[in-house]
Amino acid sequence: MNHHQRLTAGIVGPLLRGRFGHPYLWAESCPSTQDLLRDTGLPEGAVATTEHQTAGRGRAGRSWQDAPGTALLVSVLLRPPTASVVAQLSLVCALAVAETVEAATDREGRVKWPNDVLVDARKVAGVLLEGRDGAVVCGIGLNVNQLEDALPREARMLVASIRALTGREHDRVRLLVRLLERLEASYDAWLGNGLAPLLPELERRDVLHGSVVTVGDVTGTAGGFAPDGRLRIRSDDGAETLVASGEVTRQEGEPEAAPRRVNPARARSRSGPSHRDSRA
């Protein structure tokens, strides 16, 4: 297995069996893979990847850093039936990424609403959804082979790569192919039945559940997701607010959820294609 292969169309293309990845665009370097798909008129399932972004974007105006050739930097073009579902797509994508990370690490991939993927309280991947004219470009940044000191710094939380978690390098080509398969399966499930069938898996992986959180001017205990992807927050007086988007701050002193080790038999039984994602 060659861990230093690039993600070129010649290498990845023949391994893609589904709709996602047609067409498949690759650049040695580019400002942001999001821009390779934006306003292009390409069909749903078009994918753009690169070895290095010179102006990678994160949520909320943040930048997304990478060390060339070590991460997965992927954008997928989606054309959902209605534009109002961007928030749900964030969870659909985050779930697919969490499952991919879990299969690679044998540790539970967890979702921090609306778009972060964590293992043991460390962020391994982020999802950025950008919608325009009915199309949604879903960007995924997944830290794969970075050593600890090459990891992007996040002021808000601890970060990790799959390599840092497992102590070995991973095949990015294989990971990308699996990620696209899972993403397609999740997205198709969501197209068919909405978020509801994905909610049990999402809630099982929900990092915030039971924590006291603040989003905008709402503070209370996070209590899972509504069927439309909004975060449920219950305040002290018992009132429930559904929050559609925003930055989540966890109350000082709140313990991170204890890391859980995945039983490899269970992890394998879940490794088939399944879910989907939304907006950040």
* Selected binder of ligand BTN within 12, 16, 34, 107 (CB under 6 A): 34
Q: Which of residues 206-245 bind ligand BTN (CB under 6 A)?
A: none
Q: Please name the helix (run of DSSP H) or strand (run of DSSP E) that holds residue 265, with its range, or none.
A: helix 264-269
**Residue 160 binds to ligand BTN (criterion: CB under 6 A):** no
State the residue for tokens 């790569």.
161
From residue 164 to residue 203, what is the string marking binding to ligand BTN with x (rule CB under 6 A)? ----------------------------------------
Residue 17 or 156: which CB sits closer to ligand BTN? 156
Whole-angstrom Cα distance, residue 76 to residue 91?
15
Q: Which of residues 69-98 bind ligand BTN (CB under 6 A)?
A: 73-75
Q: How far is the CB of 245 from ligand BTN (least distance, A)?
A: 13
Tally the residues of the chain: 280
Whole-angstrom Cα distance, residue 39 to residue 242?
32
Whole-angstrom Cα distance, residue 120 to residue 108?
8
Quickly list DSSP for 188-240: HHHHHH-SGGGHHHHHHTBSSTT-EEEETTEEEEEEEE-TTSPEEEE-TTS-E
From residue 38 to residue 67, what is the string marking binding to ligand BTN with x (rule CB under 6 A)? ---------------x--xxxx--x-x---
Residue 127 or 173: which CB sits closer to ligand BTN? 127
Residue 87 or 128: which CB sits closer to ligand BTN? 128
DSSP category for residue 250: E
Rounded to the nearest 5°, which phi and psi values hold at 173?
Answer: -60, -50
What is the binding site for ligand BTN (CB under 6 A)? 32-34, 53, 56-59, 62, 64, 73-75, 116, 126-128, 139-141
